[in-house]
A and B are shown apart, each in its own frame.
Chain A
Amino acid sequence: MDWKGRDVISIRDFSKEDIEFVLKTAERLENELNEKGALDYARGKILATLFFEPSTRTRLSFESAMHRLGGSVIGFSSAASTSVKKGESLADTIKTVEQYSDVIVIRHPMEGAARLAAEVAEIPVINAGDGSNQHPTQTLLDLYTIKMAFGKIDGLTIGLLGDLKYGRTVHSLAEALTFYDVELYLISPELLRMPKHIIEELREKGVKVHEMTDLEGAIPELDVLYVTRIQRERFPDEEEYMKVKGSYRVNLEVLRKAKETLKVMHPLPRVDEIHPEVDKTKHALYFRQVFSGVPVRMALLGLTLGVLEV
């Protein structure tokens, strides 16, 4: 696979080999970073971060990754201060920004915006979230976190908890997990069940899927519990949100029934789904998960810029 100039738009564009290659490259970079402190693969290269809607965490993670690679960063963190406010098309913004940079990372409220940007730009474009569609780098860092924690992904039993209906991260993660030999527990309130077409796809691809509403029933089986926030902003009406708000709370009491080796993940930010008392336990993997964003994004930036040896 020729990575130089490649766009990273959707996890659907990736094969298992692609995913494994990114994870391996991220591991290599993480080790190099630990040894040397700073790297200079991307010296002289510029990353443009175009955040048409705010996402501090993802933006900082990409910026950190580019700095760690020895490159530099330009960009904006909301559309309010850009020519978009003046009515400029997305295509024109992209064509302009590519004159200033070597790689573009885009976060946009509209679904498909990253795909359109990639069609317009001649430099690589990386999707940092397009509406409720895709967030492929989050999925890759989730997989990387699991792999680093267990040394493997195959053979694990993974629970996805919370908002499985609107949660973009769990949709892409579930899709990516079809490449692996895993068993999935989908735990959510009835109102927030995983969309039928995704469950069908999982089953068609041979993943053993259990759907349930009860966390306590599932927890003894799990190697990984991936918790999501029930996102108020995704609900069409407040009443629906109020019915499911605070449905699950992962605390020490709940974890008493878990395997000792269970790891709890969360794409963060959290509200009240995981009690802070869990942070100090060996189950908590979510801050390590945040860190994983850096080597994974370093790998993607380095590969698409063509500055890493493949």
Chain B
Amino acid sequence: MPENLKIEVIPEGTVIDHIPAGKWLKVVEILHLTKPNGGTLLIASNVPSKKLGRKDIVKVEGRYLSEEEVNKIALIAPMATVNIVKDYKIVEKFNVEIPDEVVGILHCPNPNCVSNHEYVLPRFRVESREPLKLRCHYCERTIEGEEILGNL
């Protein structure tokens, strides 16, 4: 059965495709979609994918993403694609990209880092994209894997 028949199309909004299988809940959490916000939220998990083997898809009706939200998704799902839907048609499609610097998105897990105590935006420099490894601009500690997800 073609994949698009399994998931209802949305008239207006955003489709986030190519999320690694099992990561949809994290995407929903970081976009704060866990509470009803008016639009329909459609989720498909463990869908066969040529690119990823298995993938998740999140469709959000009536909602577009800020640059910060796109950057957050890139940290969880660096292969994700974002589709902007208007009047049932995809009017724009782009790949998310991990920026060189991640600012104000995740907190430093080091409890003794000054960024957790002073009025300052947490900042991380991307040290490696594959596997993703970030270095805190302030305390210089590196974080990777689950530690990144846990602090988004």
Closest residue to A111 on the B side, CB-wise?
B139
| Contact (A90, B118) CB under 8 Å given A111-B138, A115-B137, A133-B139 | yes
Residues of A within 8 A of B139 (CB): 110-112, 130-131, 133
B112-150: CB near A (< 8 Å → 1, else 0) gives: 111101111000000000000000111111100000000
Residues of A within 8 A of B137 (CB): 112, 115
Cα-based distance from A130 to B113 in the complex (angstroms): 10
* Most chain A beta-carbon contacts within 10 A, residue among B118, B119, B141: B118
- Given contacts A90-B118, A91-B118, A91-B119, A10 and B140 within 8 Å (CB-CB): yes
**CB-defined contacts of B110 to chain A, threshold 8 Å:** 111
Determine whether the beta carbon of A112 is less than 8 Å from that of B119: no
Number of interface residues of B (CB under 8 A): 16
A-B contact count (CB 8 A): 51
Q: Tell me the bound Cα distance from A197 to B131 in angstroms.
A: 14
Residue ranges of A at the interface with B (Cβ–Cβ < 8 Å):
10, 12, 89-91, 108-113, 115-116, 130-134, 197
Which residues of the other chain, A, contact B114 by a CB distance below 8 angstroms?
90, 108, 110-113, 115-116, 130
B136 adjacent to A197 (CB under 8 Å): no
Q: Known: A109-B112, A110-B113, A131-B112. Contact between A115 and B138, CB under 8 A?
A: yes
Q: Chain B residues with Cβ under 8 A from A91's Cβ?
A: 118-120
User: What is the minimal beta-carbon distance from B18 to any residue of chain A, in angstroms?
Assistant: 30
What are the 9 A-B residue pairs with the smallest beta carbon separation, nearest first?
A112-B138, A111-B139, A112-B114, A112-B139, A110-B114, A113-B114, A115-B138, A116-B114, A112-B113
CB distance from B116 to the nearest CB of A (A): 9
Q: Write out the residue numbers on chain A whose beta carbons fall within 8 Å of the beta carbon of B113.
A: 110-112
Chain B residues within an 8 Å CB radius of A89: 118-119
What separation, in Å, do the CA atoms of A91 and B118 have in the docked complex? 8
Instruction: Look across to chain B and name the residue whose beta carbon is closest to the beta carbon of A115.
Output: B138
Q: Do the beta carbons of A116 and B138 come within 8 Å of each other?
A: yes
B121 to chain A, nearest CB (A): 11
Point out the residues of chain B lying under 8 angstroms from A115, CB to CB.
114, 137-138
Partner of A111, one of B119, B120, B140, B142: B140
